[in-house]
Amino acid sequence: MALDQSFIGRSYPPTSTYEVGREKIREFADAIGDGNPLYRDPEAARAAGHPDVIAPPTFLTVINLAAINTIVDDPELGLDYSRMVHGDQSFRHTRPVRAGDRLQLTTFVEDIMTRAGNDFLTVRGEITDAEGEPVCTTRAQLVVRGEGA
């Protein structure tokens, strides 16, 4: 069953605020095996010109995944989760994510297309800080394998 094309252009407003903590940044850096002191040591981060520790560039996956799941779990979209694989992901940062940030995410269904019997869903996230200033734009492409794939 093809994905519902009427979802293209839909937006999903923020449902909560995510508070970025030093410990969450450290845990994420540990999980990806990155020992960069800017992710762990406030003094090293300040020496590099940041007000506090910063997060690895892919840290925003933490809040982005929940927003993507809200879309793919919508029964009207017609997505069979058991046939879905992650196709691509990108992050375009306006500035680094910092400990103490209070972030909100608005998600958009940017595109839905079918190729070779597979559906491709592109989801964009616009992440802003407490002042409404942009922090990062994320994109994820999800592939829903066709019946014969």
**DSSP result, 52-99:** S-B--GGGGHHHHHHHHHHHHT-GGG---GGGEEEEEEEEEESS--BT
Spatial separation of the C-alpha atoms in residues 85 and 12, rounded to whole Å: 22
CB 111 within 8 A of CB 137: no
pLDDT score of 149 more than 60:
no
Give the CA-trace dihedral at 47, 49, 51, 53, to 10 degrees.
Answer: -70
pLDDT score of 1 more than 70:
no
What domains sit in the chain, N to C, each tagged with a CATH number?
5-20+56-145 (3.10.129.10)
pLDDT score of 48 more than 70:
yes
pLDDT (0 to 100) of residue 16: 92
The whole model's pTM is what? Answer: 0.90
pLDDT digits (tens, 9 = 90+) for 86-145: 889 999 999 999 999 999 999 999 999 999 989 999 999 999 999 999 999 999 999 998
Spatial separation of the C-alpha atoms in residues 52 and 35, rounded to whole Å: 16
